[in-house]
Structure formats: C-alpha cells, structure tokens
C-alpha cells in the first residue's frame, strides 16, 4: 500500500487521524499527530513522513502504541513504525544559505550583525567564577570552544542580574574570535518577536526563516517573554526544531526554569527541557568580592589614580547582596563620586554615597514574613494559610502568599513548598501560575498584591 497514486493510504490515515484525535486529545493531536502523513504500510511496517526528525522521535516515544493500535483497529495492522523526515519547511533556501561560501553573497550576516550589538565588556575574561555559577560557566565555555557538547539547548535560568546575559555574550565573543565565519545570532526574545511580526507584516517570512535557520548558534535571552504569545511561540518552536535537526547549538536564558514559565505550550516546555537546564544561583560573599575586585582592576586600568581604602570592597560585598548588577552599579557610582571630588574611596564615603542602596539591601523579606502579612491582610489565621484546608477563603490567600514567596525571595520551589506545610513544588508552581493568570483579569487580586508588596518592602 503506497501513498503515491494510491488513495487508500490517505483514506486509511484520515480514518486513523479521527480516532487518534479522540484518543490523545486535541492539543497533543495538533502538535504531534497532525503533521504526520502515512506514506506506506507494507510487511507490517508503517512508514510515516514527519516534518522534522525531532517530531518523529517524540512521536515514537510518546504515541507509537496509540498509532499501532489505531492502525490495527482500522484493519491495517503493523508491528513497527518508521518515521522519515519529509524535508524541512524551506529546505532549499536553508541549505543554500548554509552552504554559501561567501557570506557577502546572501543577506543573513548583515541581519545577524544588526541584532547582535554585543557589549565588548561581557567576555569570559571578565566573568568571575564561583560556586553559584560554575556549572553555567563550564557549559558556556564548552559551547564556545566549538566542540560537540552533547546537550542542546543549554538553558540558563536564575534571578535578575546574576550573569546570564554576560555568559551568553561571552559565548558569542569567543566563537567569533575563534571562527569569524561562524554565524552566531544573539538576540532577546522580544527582538525575536519583533522580527517575526515585522516579517509577517511585510510578507517576508521566507527571509525571516532563512536568517534564523542558517545560523550555527542561536542565542535567545529572556525566553519567558514569548509565553502567552501564541504565534511567536509557534514560530520559535519550528525554528528550534529545524536548528536542532541540523545539529546547530541553541542557548537560552530565562528568569525561571522551563516548567515554571506559565502559558508556554507543553510541547515548547518539553523542548526547552530536552537539553541541559542550569540554574544560576545568587552570588555568595566570595563571588561578590571577586566581581568587585575584577571591576576595580578594570577601572584602575582606565584611571590609575583611583584609590580605595582597605575594607571598602569587603563592606560592599557583605552589604549589597541583592544581585551583581546592583553591586556593580554601587561601585560605579562610588568611583564616579570619588573621581569628581578627587578623594580616596573610604568607608564613610561609601556609607554617605550609597545610603539608598544599602537600605534597600538591608531589607530582606522572608517567607514567614510574607505568610504573616498575607494572613493579616485577608483576616485569616496563619495556621489556615499554611494548613491543608481547601476552602476558597484559605486557598486563594495561600496562592497569593506562594506567589509573593516565589517573586520576593530567592527561595527554591521545594524550599517554599516545605514552608507551606510540606507541599510539593508542583503545588507551588500551580499557585504561582494561578495568581499570574488572575493578576491580569481580577483587579482585586492585582490591588491586593500591590498593597502587600509595598507593605513588605517598606
Ligand atoms: N560572574 C560575574 N563576573 C563578573 N561580572 C558579572 C558576573 N555576573 C554578573 N556580572 C555583571 O553583572 C551585571 C548583570 O549581569 P547580567 O546582565 O548578565 O545578568 P542577567 O542574569 O542576564 O540578568 P537579567 O535577567 O536581568 O538580564 C553585568 O554587568 C555583568 O557583567
């Protein structure tokens, strides 16, 4: 039974598809089964064409049994499925680009350059390694060295100002230095969306696909931005699959792990998780001090008259703990002030000049404090907020408290779960997502959150 010129295979597959849709559900069907086409069924082997090898391997892992059962019921039993990639969405264009010998002969490098705008300071040389970022650093280094790394994508996640962008840009610098011909495309998820929307508007989707599918390394910063943006997510998913199928490396960053990003389609989440997921943790004292020393060395190279009294860097490293961007900003401010007045940077000058930063850093919110404030705000007992009762009047405040704990502290999900009566981390994720969802549609919740946040920060 062959597809070419044989209507019966198509008819058979149409029947099977209808049953499969019922069995696997519409969402999974649309994502995974709908792109398949039955090419032939012979000698107990059913051959299905798939748009990408990834899709084939995912279907083989997750839906093989269901497909074999449905074929059997439809009167065409098979014992084995074979998936053959049908070719990519734009195989000709992508291949031509990838093989073009002279970069100037096609439009891709210019477009990539335009998006790159790398910060020359964000190199590996200037990245200080500590316990909290050593795994992320090692993975980034491996990719930058250009050897096969065995994980794709590299997904870096962590709070703000912890060095994720720095590492990504360092990969780009290093790869360009090692191989100026390498097509390394670095952009934020927002830029990805803007370029996608512009291409749609200007009917230049082929150009868009050519640019993105011809790169050697694609790096997208703050990928959580595409959550809830359906068409952008869809396009990103296809770009991702096409690149992985070609063996091209992808590096992504986000402010949280793939499973914690709400409003991402399940197939996208599973794709993001399929490589190496590394958390970049808040910097400890030693790393903070190391970063300060490295920044001072750079500042001294530019201004040899810079003088810093003993103890100032230790003081800053101990007191400014929120993130490395704030720490770096504090040092820059201090250096600017000292150079203006032509003075040495002393502890007194640091205290005077950085009063606001120091006060903000002193203010650390604990999960327990959040729970107390939330219970107070909703007039319920702390025991009910934390306890097992599922009444709406307890459950909603509990979710609000979970959300605040996740967004206002650096505690991990399992840790927060433990502090909420030993709940599992998935319950915390559910609570956080629920509040994120409600925030946009329920002004009362939005007001409550605003009020609580202010109270906790004051
Ligand atoms: N380990 C490090 N060594 C030296 N500088 C660092 C390190 N980590 C962060 N920095 C500096 O801190 C600043 C903030 O880092 P970066 O922008 O990479 O953070 P991020 O994790 O991408 O944050 P966001 O999610 O807000 O974009 C940068 O100036 C960066 O150079």
Which ipTM value was assigned to this complex? 0.98
| Residue 383: predicted pLDDT | 93
Pocket test for ligand 1, best of 162, 225, 278 (most atoms within 8 A of CB): 162
Q: Which residue has the higher pLDDT, 93 or 132?
A: 132
Q: How far apart are the CA of 82 and the centre of ligand 1, in A?
A: 46
Q: How far apart are the CA of 133 and the centre of ligand 1, in A?
A: 11
Look at residue 92 and tell me whether its pLDDT is greater than 60: no
Q: What is the pLDDT of residues 20-44, one digit of tens each?
A: 988 887 767 777 788 888 988 888 8
Q: Which residue has the higher pLDDT, 62 or 126?
A: 126
- As a dihedral over the C-alpha atoms of residue 146, residue 150, residue 156, residue 162, rounded to 10 degrees, the angle is -50
Pocket test for ligand 1, best of 159, 163, 221, 256 (most atoms within 8 A of CB): 163
- Two structure tokens written together for 270: 């599973």
Look at residue 147 and tell me whether its pLDDT is greater than 70: yes
Q: Which of 105-109, 169-173, 207-211, 241-245 has the lowest mean pLDDT?
A: 105-109
Q: How far apart are the CA of 416 and the centre of ligand 1, in A?
A: 25
CB under 6 Å to ligand 1: residues?
A: 122, 126-128, 133, 160-166, 255, 291, 294, 324-325, 328
φ/ψ (deg, to 5) at 45: -115, 120
* pTM for this entry: 0.62
Q: What is the pLDDT of residues 410-435, one digit of tens each?
A: 788 899 999 999 999 999 999 999 99
Pocket test for ligand 1, best of 166, 188, 298, 323 (most atoms within 8 A of CB): 166
| Residue 111: predicted pLDDT | 41
End-to-end alpha-carbon separation of the chain, Å? Answer: 73
Contact 292, 133 (CB under 8 A): no
389 is in an annotated binding site: no
290 is in an annotated binding site: no
Look at residue 300 and tell me whether its pLDDT is greater than 60: yes
Domains plus CATH for the chain? 7-85 (3.30.300.180), 94-279 (3.40.50.300), 285-362 (1.10.8.60), 367-457 (1.10.1750.10)
**How far is Cα 6 from Cα 256, in angstroms, rounded to an integer?**
50
Q: Is the dihedral of CA 31, 33, 37, 40 positive or negative?
A: positive
Q: Count Cβ atoms within 10 A of the Cβ of residue 432 and give its class: 0-12 exposed, 13-18 middle, 19 or more buried.
A: buried
164 is in an annotated binding site: yes
Question: What percent of the chain has a predicted confidence (pLDDT) above 90?
Answer: 38
With residues binned 3-state (H G I as helix, E B as strand, rest as coil), the percentages for the chain, rounded to 5, are 60, 10, 30
168: nearest Cα among 225, 237, 249:
249
**How far is Cα 311 from Cα 316, in angstroms, rounded to an integer?**
9
In this prediction, residues 235-257 reach a mean pLDDT of 91
163 is in an annotated binding site: yes
Task: Supply the mean pLDDT for the chain.
Answer: 84
Look at residue 90 and tell me whether its pLDDT is greater than 70: no
Q: Which residue has the higher pLDDT, 110 or 409?
A: 409
In this prediction, residues 37-65 reach a mean pLDDT of 81
Q: How far apart are the CA of 158 and the centre of ligand 1, in A?
A: 11
With cut-offs at 50, 70 and 90, classify the pLDDT of residue 361: low
Cα-to-chain-centroid distance, residue 22? 32
**How far is Cα 179 from Cα 370, in angstroms, rounded to an integer?**
51
Q: Which residue has the higher pLDDT, 2 or 8?
A: 8
Q: What is the pLDDT of residues 183-224, one digit of tens each?
A: 899 999 988 999 999 999 999 999 999 889 889 999 999 999
């Amino acid at each position: 039974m062959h597809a070419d010129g044989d209507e019966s295979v198509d008819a058979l597959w149409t029947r099977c598809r209808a049953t499969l849709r019922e069995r696997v559900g519409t969402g999974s069907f649309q994502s995974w089964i709908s792109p398949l086409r039955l090419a032939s069924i012979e000698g107990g082997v059913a051959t299905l064409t798939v748009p990408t090898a990834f899709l084939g391997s995912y279907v083989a892992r997750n839906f093989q049994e269901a497909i074999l059962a449905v074929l059997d019921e439809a009167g065409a039993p098979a014992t084995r499925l074979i998936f053959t990639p049908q070719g990519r969405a734009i195989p000709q264009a992508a291949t031509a680009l990838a093989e073009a010998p002279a970069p100037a002969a096609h439009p891709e490098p210019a477009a990539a350059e335009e998006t790159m705008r790398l910060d020359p300071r964000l190199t590996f040389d200037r990245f200080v390694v500590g316990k909290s970022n050593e795994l992320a650093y090692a993975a980034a280094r491996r990719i930058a060295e250009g050897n096969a790394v065995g994980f794709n994508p590299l997904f870096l996640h962590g709070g703000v100002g912890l060095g994720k962008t720095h590492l990504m840009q360092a990969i780009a610098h290093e790869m360009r230095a090692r191989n100026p011909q390498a097509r390394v495309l670095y952009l934020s998820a927002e830029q990805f969306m803007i370029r996608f929307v512009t291409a749609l508007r200007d009917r230049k989707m082929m150009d868009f696909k050519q640019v993105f599918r011809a790169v050697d390394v694609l790096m997208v910063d703050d990928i959580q931005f595409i959550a809830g943006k359906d068409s952008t997510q869809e396009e990103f998913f296809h770009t991702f699959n096409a690149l992985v199928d070609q063996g091209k490396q992808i590096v992504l960053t986000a402010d949280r792990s793939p499973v914690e990003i709400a409003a991402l389609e399940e197939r996208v989440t599973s794709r993001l998780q399929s490589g190496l997921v590394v958390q970049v943790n808040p910097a400890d004292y030693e790393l903070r001090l190391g970063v300060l020393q490295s920044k001072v060395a750079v500042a001294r190279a530019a201004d040899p008259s810079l003088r810093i009294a003993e103890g100032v860097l230790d003081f800053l490293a101990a007191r400014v703990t929120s993130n490395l961007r704030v720490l770096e900003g504090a040092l820059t401010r201090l250096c600017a002030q000292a150079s203006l007045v032509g003075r040495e940077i002393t502890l007194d000058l640091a205290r005077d000049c950085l009063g606001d930063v120091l006060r903000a850093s002193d203010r650390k919110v604990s999960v327990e404090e959040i729970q107390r404030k939330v219970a107070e705000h909703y007039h319920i007992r702390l025991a009910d907020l934390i306890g097992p009762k599922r009444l709406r009047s307890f459950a909603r405040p509990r979710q609000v408290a979970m959300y605040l704990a996740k967004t206002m502290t650096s505690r991990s999900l399992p840790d927060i779960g433990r502090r909420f009566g030993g709940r599992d981390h998935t319950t915390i994720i559910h609570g956080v997502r629920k509040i994120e969802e409600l925030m946009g549609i329920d002004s009362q919740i939005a007001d409550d959150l605003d009020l609580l946040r202010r109270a906790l920060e004051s």
